[in-house]
Amino acid sequence: MDKKLLLAQLKKQFRDKTKFTESGPSTDEGRDWLTTTEALLKQYDANKASQFRYLMQYLFLRLSSYTVGPIWNNMLSILQGTIAELEVSLPKTDEKIYGPGDQYSVYKDLKEIIGNAEKEVFIMDSYANEEIFDLYLDKVKTSVQIRFLTKSPSRNLGAVIAKFKAKPGVKFEAKIDNNIHDRVIFIDDNQCWVIGHSIKDAAMKKPTYLLPVDSVVDMKSMYEKIWNSATSI
């Protein structure tokens, strides 16, 4: 598994630890949290997963809270330690800042980010035009799933969307939702970028930015809800 995706999933397990503490090890929810955490740890380090599993067995015994407490804290320490190690091992993705008129730099960086997708590109842009297809999406690998969410498109953009959907072999879906505002790009479930302006206007007359989002899982979950209620084009 990609390290960045693994890190995001381990962070989610740590945030969701109350699913275990509130329900206990003998419930389906509690067991699911334990087994999922162990499986994720194993993908990073089999020894850490083994230590976690060794401590986990004591949670199913009739032990006092004074005994269980330190065991649980040690399990959380293994999880937190793994998260910290992964964070240190991953290269830092710096924000990208652009001045007025620096449109070509925005284009180069976006082209590289989108072009590196191996599984999925998911783009939200309220005020997109047909350039997004000509400059970026047309160059995405044919094996990559593309999803595009915008507000009510212009006639020209609607025509381009229809033609793009008809391309042989393309994996493409488009939807509209008038509630979206931010410009967001997800790449392969492990990258999320927020753009200061609509892609078509980025750095045209005003400064703008591309900022990486660390909480990819949480961010995508939010936009998946919007996508699921949006209207297909």
Using the Cα atoms of residue 150, residue 152, residue 157 and residue 161 in order, give the sign of their dihedral: positive
Percent of the chain whose pLDDT exceeds 70:
98
Who contacts 199 (Cβ-Cβ below 8 Å, separation ≥6)?
106, 110, 125, 128, 131, 132, 136, 183
* CATH topology for the 96-232 domain: Endonuclease; Chain A (3.30.870)
Judging by DSSP bridges, how do beta strands 145-150 and 120-124 pair with one another?
parallel
Q: What pLDDT digit, counting tens, does each position of 1-35 carry?
A: 678 788 888 988 998 898 888 878 888 888 999 99
First to last CA, the chain: 33
pTM score over 0.95: no
